[in-house]
Amino acid sequence: MVKYNLDGKVVIITGASAGLGEQFAHAYADSGAHVVLGARREDLLKKIADEVSDKFGVKALPIKTDVAEESDIVNLVDTTVKELGTVDVMVNNAGMYIVKPLIEQTLDDWNRVMNVNLTSAFIGSREAAKVMIPKKSGSIINITSTFGFGGTEFTEVSYYVSKGGMVTMTKALAIELGKYNIRVNAIAPGFFPTEMSKGVYEDEKLRNRVIDPRTALPMYAENEWIRGAACFLASDDARYITGHTLAVDGGWLAY
């Protein structure tokens, strides 16, 4: 991966205990940034923090965070400022889904997904903006999904809606915060073999019906391939890009 110059930047990543969040932690640390890792699984956070700190010589701060709780997100940002002085990049990555047919989905199911996927990104963006506005700089990156642009045969309507909401929120915040030189963008991953999606890869029928027909490139994704997009959007190379959703999907949205 091409390294971007993020030396000394402070990056907060939610959902950082596994999957793409772990990839973001390694990518930003490799580019010289200090990373703050938020998630519920404290043991995994500490393991990743130790790995990136030892390997790249940056500060890595693990903070146990339940993004369904507003107070936890507020604490995540406040502790970052207290320990590291500022927030330069906020990566709203935490996510979940519940697979159920519509008529079996409960209001509690709906609210759980919305709180983790969309409301947490709103709160994270709000708290980060409080730090970024006075210094008139910053980058907020929302991790949405190709599913934010339309449905599939997977019965997870709340997930689609939450990710579509992130795309629209990205645009709205880009307009509102642009005058403060704060850029707001999103990344829409396709299918990556993370902890969340490994069941799809292991199911040959689903691979043949869902992934293969809409993957233009002749290979499946590897988790490391998300790193470049994340670092690019955080870097000065993307200084005139805002309100954009960058698909990293092997051609999924081209169909």
For the chain, the structural domain boundaries read 10-254
What is the residue type of 137? S
Q: Are 131 and 87 in contact (CB under 8 A)?
A: yes
Q: Which of 4, 97, 159, 160 is catalytic?
A: 159
- Helices and strands (H and E) in the chain: how many: 9, 7
Q: Are 14 and 67 in contact (CB under 8 A)?
A: yes
| pLDDT < 70 positions in the chain | 1-2
**Strand pairing report for 182-189 and 34-39:** unpaired
Q: Which of helix, strand or coil describes residue 4?
A: coil
Domain 10-254 classified CATH 3.40.50.720?
yes
Whole-prediction pTM: 0.97
| Active site (annotated) includes residue 159 | yes
